Amino acid sequence: MSPADRDTRFAWEAMDDRAAMLRDIEEEVALTRREIGKEALQERVMAAMAKVPRERFVPESHRVLAFRNGPVPIGHGQTISQPYIVALMSDLLEPRPDSTILEVGTGSGYQAAVLAEVVRQVYSVEIVEALAQAAGERLARLGYGNVTVRHADGYHGWKEHAPFDGIVVTAAAPTIPQPLIEQLKPGARLVIPVGLPDCVQMLKVVEKLTDGSCSSRDVLMVAFVPLTRASPDP
């Protein structure tokens, strides 16, 4: 089989796998509807999940696992989150077409790509330099010109582009980073898993109120890799 034939075959298989992935997400939503407080995710989010080529964001050695409803290793001790969690976290942000979103933990760039389909601009911070560079190049190659990736400690957010219409954190923090709260617009949401490493964590939605205070609600028990820091808290 020629390389062109292999690419064509893979593209058709990916279409079938993507359809199965969407069904898995819908089934997970139905199973967790009480916890997440909704019967279905936003149509715009589901359309983004259908459009973004997830197989392009996983290592070639793991592409057979790209569409299964589970995390996939991407190297450097990091993973690409399961499709249901990517879709849920995107939905919980309540993104609008004119939103500017901060992502902490670029990883492979998949979550950023999904968000880029539904918002105006995504700023993404990744502490692992090799991942930041690879994700930035991958996103540019796939045409996501509205995603900007930076190699930095995401705990501190990205003050130069704040305040944000939403912030999503794709790694578990033991506590909610105060700099991220400060960089939220009033009325905006922070979606973050909170808990200790190697333990089950709680996915939380934090909303900043107009007076600067915050309300928080627990959504779902999850398991994420820990949020890596460049240095301990001052």
Confidence grade of residue 232 (pLDDT, cut at 50, 70, 90): low
SS3 state at 91: helix
Higher-pLDDT residue of 101 and 1 is 101
| pLDDT over threshold 90, residue 120 | yes
Reported as a pLDDT band with limits 50, 70 and 90, residue 9 is low
Please tell me the predicted confidence (pLDDT) of residue 177: 95
pLDDT confidence bin for 228, thresholds 50/70/90: confident
86-100: per-residue pLDDT in tens?
999 999 999 999 999
**Span 14-18, mean pLDDT?**
80
Name the active-site residue from 81, 90, 99, 124: 81
- What's residue 13's pLDDT? 61
- 99 catalytic? Reply is no
For 185, phi and psi rounded to 5 degrees? -70, 155
pLDDT > 70 fraction of the chain, expressed in percent and rounded: 92
Tell me how many helices (H) and strands (E) the chain has. Answer: 7, 9
pLDDT at 65 over 90: no
Cβ atoms within 10 A of the Cβ of 25, count? Answer: 23
| Pairwise CA distance, residues 155 & 5, whole Å | 45
Checking if the pLDDT of 10 tops 60, the result is: no
Mean pLDDT, all residues of the chain: 92
Per the CB < 8 A criterion, the answer to whether 112 and 103 are in contact is: yes
In the prediction, which pLDDT does 198 show?
Answer: 79
Q: For residues 231 and 224, give the distance between their C-alpha atoms in angstroms, rounded to a whole number.
A: 20
* Per-residue pLDDT at 205: 98
- pLDDT beyond 60 at 139: yes
The mean per-residue pLDDT over the stretch 139-152 comes to: 97
pLDDT at 233: 54
- Residue 202 CA to residue 71 CA, distance in Å, equals 17
DSSP state string for 212-232: S-EEEEEEEEE--PBPP-SS-
pLDDT on residue 69: 85
